[in-house]
Copies of this chain bind each other. A is one copy, B any other.
Amino acid sequence: MHRSRLAGFIIDCQTADLESAAGFWSQALGLPLQGDASTDPGYRLLQNAPGDLHVEVQQVQHPSRVHLDIESDDIEAEARRLETLGAKRVSTVRTWIVMEAPTGQRFCIVQPQSARFASDANRWD
């Protein structure tokens, strides 16, 4: 048995100026920025998203997009479950796995990061 849950979404920005990009999205969505640029280089977390979703602005090299994160207490088992549904494994990065949906969107399987994981995650037997 393992568990997983929609963790949130990451706003990937192809930019040389992460602070400006994060500032735009913070004001656009009305969600305050957490911490400062030194907290986690390359990332700025937006606070107070609905349902404690994890919403981050990330500096990337590839074209800008938005991608989903799924959090799981067994990343490998979750990758296998998603492969059974038709997703493909793209790469492993630090502690997460990048996947591609049958319809082409990239998304990530990450470690549990939400306070609601224990109460709200789905169980897969």
Contacts and interface: CB of A to CB of B under 8 A. Distances in A.
- Chain copies in the assembled complex: 2
Given A50-B52, A51-B53, A101 B28 contact: yes
A34 interface: no
Contacts of A101: 24-25, 28, 64
A13 interface: yes
Contact of A102 (B21, B104, B105): B21
Interface in A1-57: 4-6, 9, 11, 13-15, 20-21, 24-25, 27-31, 49-53, 55
Interface of A: 4-6, 9, 11, 13-15, 20-21, 24-25, 27-31, 49-53, 55, 63-68, 70, 82, 85-87, 101-105, 107, 114, 116, 120-122
